[in-house]
């Protein structure tokens, strides 16, 4: 047992994985020596600050109450916590003491009201956009889906020395829209948070809602979700492979990826689903009963599997073009808790599907560790498409079979996780009288964003679009 988990033994809990620490214990916890548990997210509002850690593959939530709108900054120990601290300062006006970075994360100077989620927000007349102070790559140059700008400096040989990302222009006020809604009302908003998870985000949300209510989905619903997640995984892996390939003029391979992805979309439409599986995850009982997922899943497998060998062989012709771009060491992905294909390609084999109720573990064969560059991430995607096809076959063969589950109390607090195509998505929420009282979201792009400075240091500016595309990076799940 780590010193951190040993410290938490006997501390009061408010949920299945949720510990409450007084101010002094919070500070002592963040100063413990020895091995650190990976930090996935840091959140704060007007009442409390919370961090989400991972003990092996088990989540650990730790909260402390704020005093005079202040709390001791987790980023003093965990750099990845800085984003959550900056975001909380913009939205609620709470201050993380000893934080190494307190620059605005979402407020780009154009907001008409400061601290919009706070009870003490202030109207700001004549607000204007904050202009970059130095060299700047605009979102149109970076070329990613979503609005990502980069302020940077150059060192020797014209290589990047410092990199400061800006995604404030992507902010949509999602958290303010969700608070106070019923889960049914919130679901359409959640389903559109990111095109990188039209299925994954709502499934993670519903898992948190179900945990708060002390229930498991019935086996039919459980396996329907698992199949939809794998279909989405294949589609997004094909998209990321295509986007990356076009940047190195591997147009033949990119075209095959696009064609295979269009095949998936056409199949979804022909079986009565939306092309990208939007609004398929629902709480409407009648709509859920009408979903017949097995015929679609079987058609997907039969359409994609015969083309997979060609996809792999064709990639082999172009693979060398991706070598050496955006190399992430094993230490870096563990330090920042970077997951998904990016983390696994660098040897951090964490796949939250392994903890899913009803998961057919024998189909998850990819071991990861492909060198940690853009080439390795592409190889990881290819191996995961192969695993998804095998997993679809396994689920179809034993669809809706009962699985052993342990009951848990309905505490009106839930933590849901889904291993999306790009990494682990987490939702933490509390319910009050059937409505969302607290909701926080952790998208897998968070640790990648936090590590931008380390990832891009020493790279040439013209290689940035390729490197970021190889991560499958999108800010949509961050600018909340």
Domain ranges in the chain are 3-123, 132-170+447-480, 217-404
DSSP secondary-structure letter at 356? S
For 405, the enclosing helix (H) or strand (E) is none
Separation of first and last alpha carbons in the chain: 35
Residue 461 has pLDDT above 70, yes or no: yes
> pLDDT at position 457, please?
95
Count of alpha carbons within 13 Å of 385, Cβ hemisphere only?
A: 28
Could you give the CA distance from residue 372 to residue 241 in angstroms, rounded to a whole number? 15
| Vertex 223 angle, CA 222 and 228, to 5° | 105
Give the per-residue pLDDT at 121. Answer: 77
Give the tens place of pLDDT for each residue, 373-407: 999 999 999 999 999 999 999 999 999 998 888 88
Contacts of 54 (CB under 8 A, 6+ apart): 37, 38, 40, 60, 337, 350
Question: Which CATH number is associated with domain 217-404?
Answer: 1.10.645.10
**82-106 as b/e, with b when 16 or more CB fall inside 10 Å?**
bbbbbbbbbbbbbbbeebeeeeebb
H runs (alpha helix) in 213-292: 219-246, 251-270, 285-290
Compute the distance between CA of residue 148 and CA of residue 91 in angstroms, rounded to an integer.
20
- The HSE-up count of residue 374 (CA atoms within 13 Å, CB side) is 30
Least Cα distance to 419 among 145, 187, 201 occurs for 201
Each residue's pLDDT tens digit, 7-63: 999 999 988 899 999 999 999 999 998 888 999 999 999 999 999 999 998 999 999
Residue 126 pLDDT > 70, yes or no?
no
Q: Which of 230, 221, 214, 202 is nearest to 364 (CA)?
A: 230
Contacts of 297 (CB under 8 A, 6+ apart): 227, 230, 231, 392, 395, 396
The mean of the pLDDT values for the chain is 93
pLDDT in tens, 64-82: 999 999 999 999 999 889 9
User: Residue 259: CB partners within 8 Å, gap ≥ 6?
Assistant: none
Q: What is the pLDDT of residues 281-313, one digit of tens each?
A: 998 877 777 788 999 999 999 999 999 999 999
Question: Three-state DSSP class for 418?
Answer: strand
Q: Say which CATH topology domain 3-123 has.
A: Beta Polymerase; domain 2 (3.30.460)
Closest CA to 256 of 302, 215, 315, 200: 315
pLDDT recorded at residue 1: 66
Position 79 scores a pLDDT of 86
Q: What is the pTM of this model?
A: 0.96
């Amino acid at each position: 047992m780590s010193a951190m988990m040993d410290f938490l033994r006997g501390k009061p809990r408010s949920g299945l994985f949720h510990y409450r620490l007084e101010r002094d214990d919070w500070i002592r916890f963040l100063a413990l020596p020895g091995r650190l548990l990976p930090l996935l997210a840091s959140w704060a509002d007007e009442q409390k600050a919370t961090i989400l850690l991972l003990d092996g593959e088990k989540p650990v939530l730790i909260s402390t109450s704020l005093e005079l709108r202040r709390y001791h900054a987790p980023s003093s120990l965990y750099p990845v916590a800085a984003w959550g601290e900056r975001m909380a300062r913009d939205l609620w006006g709470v201050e993380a003491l000893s934080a190494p970075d307190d620059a605005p994360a979402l407020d780009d100077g154009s907001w008409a009201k400061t601290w919009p989620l706070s009870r003490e927000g202030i109207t700001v007349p004549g607000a204007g956009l904050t202009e970059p102070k130095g060299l700047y790559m605009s979102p149109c140059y970076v070329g990613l889906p979503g609005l990502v700008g980069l302020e940077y400096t150059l060192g020797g040989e014209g290589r990047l020395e410092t990199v400061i990302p800006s995604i404030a222009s992507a902010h949509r006020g999602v958290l303010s829209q969700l608070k106070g809604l019923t889960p049914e009302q919130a679901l359409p908003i959640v389903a559109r948070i990111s095109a990188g998870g039209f299925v994954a985000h709502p499934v993670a949300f519903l898992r948190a809602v179900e945990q708060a209510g002390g229930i498991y989905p019935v086996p039919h619903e459980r396996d329907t979700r698992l199949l939809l997640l794998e279909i989405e995984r294949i589609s997004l892996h094909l998209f990321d492979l295509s986007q990356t390939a076009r940047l190195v003029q591997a147009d033949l391979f990119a075209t095959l990826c696009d064609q295979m992805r269009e095949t998936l979309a056409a199949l979804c439409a022909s079986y009565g689903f939306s092309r990208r599986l939007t609004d398929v995850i629902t709480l409407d009982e009648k709509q859920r009963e009408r979903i017949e997922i097995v015929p679609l899943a079987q058609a997907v497998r039969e359409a994609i599997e015969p083309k997979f060998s060609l996809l792999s062989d064709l990639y082999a012709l172009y693979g060398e073009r991706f070598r050496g771009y955006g190399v992430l060491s094993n230490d870096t992905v563990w330090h920042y808790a970077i997951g998904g294909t990016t983390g696994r390609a660098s040897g951090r084999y964490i796949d939250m599907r392994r903890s899913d109720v009803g998961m057919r573990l024998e189909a998850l064969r990819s071991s990861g560790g492909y060198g940690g560059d853009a080439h390795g991430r592409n190889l990881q995607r290819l191996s995961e498409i192969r695993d998804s096809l095998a997993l679809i076959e396994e689920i179809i063969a034993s669809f809706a079979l009962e699985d052993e589950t342990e009951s848990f109390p309905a505490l009106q607090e839930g933590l849901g996780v889904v291993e999306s195509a790009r990494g682990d998505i987490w939702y933490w929420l509390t319910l009050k009288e059937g409505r969302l009282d607290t909701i926080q979201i952790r998208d897998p792009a968070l640790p990648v964003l936090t590590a931008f400075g380390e990832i891009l240091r020493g790279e040439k500016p013209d290689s940035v679009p390729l490197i970021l595309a190889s991560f499958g990076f999108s800010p949509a799940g961050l600018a909340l």
